[in-house]
Structure 1
Amino acid sequence: MATTFDLFGTLVTTERPDDSAEAVADALRARGVAVPDDWESAYRERHVDVADGAELPLPRHVVAALDSRGVDVSGPTAVAAVLDAFDRPITVRDGAREALRVARRQGPVGLLSNCSVPGLVERTLERAGFPTFDTVVTSVGCGWRKPHRRAFETVADELGVPPTHLVHVGDSAADAGIERVGGRCLHVEETPLPHVATELEASLWE
């Protein structure tokens, strides 16, 4: 048996920008990029086609949006700007550390997070000071967003277990996608995070 956790909204909370387009624009301007006047529209337009359930890295979208307005920007500049726009202070949720501790007693522990911003999950984990995970899988890294089965299959494969042997802890309907591949979901709205450790502890003796 292995346990995987969602990150944002499950193990930590953080504030998203009030206006994502404007936050990205500010970060681009700070790097000398000439942001077009109609950036709000460009940001919200679809510029890159992706398969159903696939993840589109946000920097790639930003590069394409700027290009649609005749503004050229390098990939590394877009990555840095997007990371700055979404990198905000975090709070570790009550019960998170205990749930991780008990999960470790049960078997391998992984993180599976939907996140289109490269580096944001890693920076968040560093700030949170969590124990090392056996694997960290992000949608921007593996190319698939929960609830797509490939996201869960990827993390299961990296943990060395079949998806049917996964218990996934999360806070959204996307996290329940684990049930499509035969695993179990502990939803923190039904099983509050401080009680997740108790649920996992009980499963040690099943």
Structure 2
Amino acid sequence: MAVTFDLFGTLVDVEYPSDPAEIVARELESRGVAVPDDWHVAYGERHVDAPAGAEVPLPAHVAHALDSRGVDAAENVVRHAVVAAFDPDVARRDGARDAVHDAAERGPVGLLSNCAVPELVSKTLIRAGLRGEFDAVTTSVGCGWRKPHPKAFEAAAEALDVAPETLIHVGDDPATDGGVADVGGRFVDVTETPLRALSGELEAEP
């Protein structure tokens, strides 16, 4: 048995920016980048022709959005602006650490998170007191694929050195986290099985 956990909405709650385009614009301007007048439009457009299910890192999206309006910005400047824009308050959810520990008693345990912002997952784990609790951390920005694409779960399984069909994935969204079923694994929905009840759910696994 190998268990992977979703992060946002499953193990932690975070404050998301209500207007991400605006907060990214502020961070860009603070670094001397001339943000175009129609930035919100540019930010909302698709600029990278990626395969279905592939993750486009947000700094790449922002850089292409600027370029589409004739604004040239250094890659490291854009990356730093995006990382700074997403700096949320983090609250670890009730029972999260115990759930991870219970899973670890039964086999390898990993994290599998959809996140297009570099450094955000590691920053969140530190603030939630969960850094170092996982045998492997897999993010969509790192592996290149977003849940529910099978390649995301395959990447998480590979990082844990297990077969994908052995995965039990714990998450809060059947539309994304439930994709583990497509690789033969099992989905545990924390909206139905609270984290504090996860141990019993794992015990019931044949």
Normalised by the length of structure 2, the TM-score is 0.96
Superposed, which structure 2 residues align to 1:142-161 within 5 Å?
A: 142-161=143-162
SS for the counterpart of 1:186 is strand
Residue in structure 2 matched with residue 114 of structure 1 by the alignment: 114
Superposed, which structure 2 residues align to 1:166-185 within 5 Å?
A: 166-172=167-173, 173-185=175-187
Residue in structure 1 matched with residue 8 of structure 2 by the alignment: 8
What is the alpha-carbon distance in structure 2 between the residues aligned to residue 129 and residue 14 of structure 1?
Answer: 14
SS for the counterpart of 1:106 is coil
Q: Which residue identity is paired with 1:83?
A: V
What is the alpha-carbon distance in structure 1 between the residues aligned to residue 47 and residue 183 of structure 2?
Answer: 32
Contact 2:7 2:113 in 1 (8 A): yes
Q: Percent of pairs identical after alignment?
A: 60
1:95, CA displacement in angstroms?
1.0
1:18, CA displacement in angstroms?
0.6
Q: Which residue identity is paired with 2:160?
A: L
Contact 1:102 1:201 in 2 (8 A): no
What is the alpha-carbon distance in structure 1 between the residues aligned to residue 81 and residue 36 of structure 2?
Answer: 16
Residue in structure 2 matched with residue 186 of structure 1 by the alignment: 188
1:44 aligns with 2:64: no
1:132, CA displacement in angstroms?
2.9
SS for the counterpart of 1:110 is strand
What is the alpha-carbon distance in structure 2 between the residues aligned to residue 197 and residue 56 of structure 1?
Answer: 35
Residue deviations 1:92-112, cap 9 Å, x none? Answer: 000101100101101101000
Per mean C-alpha deviation after superposition, the further-off stretch among 120-129 and 3-12 is: 120-129
What is the alpha-carbon distance in structure 2 between the residues aligned to residue 132 and residue 187 of structure 1?
Answer: 21
1:17 aligns with 2:17: yes
Contact 1:21 1:43 in 2 (8 A): yes
- Segments of 5+ residues of structure 1 without an aligned counterpart are none
- Segments of 5+ residues of structure 2 without an aligned counterpart are none
What is the alpha-carbon distance in structure 2 between the residues aligned to residue 197 and residue 37 of structure 1?
Answer: 52
Residue in structure 1 matched with residue 98 of structure 2 by the alignment: 98
What is the alpha-carbon distance in structure 1 between the residues aligned to residue 69 and residue 181 of structure 2?
Answer: 43
**Post-superposition, which runs of at least 4 consecutive aligned residues in structure 1 deviate over 3 A?**
none
What is the alpha-carbon distance in structure 1 between the residues aligned to residue 147 and residue 126 of structure 2?
Answer: 23
Residue in structure 2 matched with residue 33 of structure 1 by the alignment: 33
SS for the counterpart of 2:176 is helix
1:62, CA displacement in angstroms?
0.3
1:78, CA displacement in angstroms?
1.2
What is the alpha-carbon distance in structure 2 between the residues aligned to residue 101 and residue 200 of structure 1?
Answer: 12
1:16, CA displacement in angstroms?
0.7
1:200, CA displacement in angstroms?
2.2
Contact 1:145 1:151 in 2 (8 A): yes
What is the alpha-carbon distance in structure 2 between the residues aligned to residue 100 and residue 193 of structure 1?
Answer: 9
Contact 1:142 1:154 in 2 (8 A): yes
Aligned residue pair count: 204
1:197 aligns with 2:199: yes
Residue deviations 1:83-141, cap 9 Å, x none? Answer: 11112010000010110010110110100000000111011111112143111110011
CA-atom RMSD, angstroms? 1.1
1:25, CA displacement in angstroms?
0.5
Per mean C-alpha deviation after superposition, the further-off stretch among 46-55 and 70-79 is: 70-79
Q: Which residue identity is paired with 1:107?
A: G
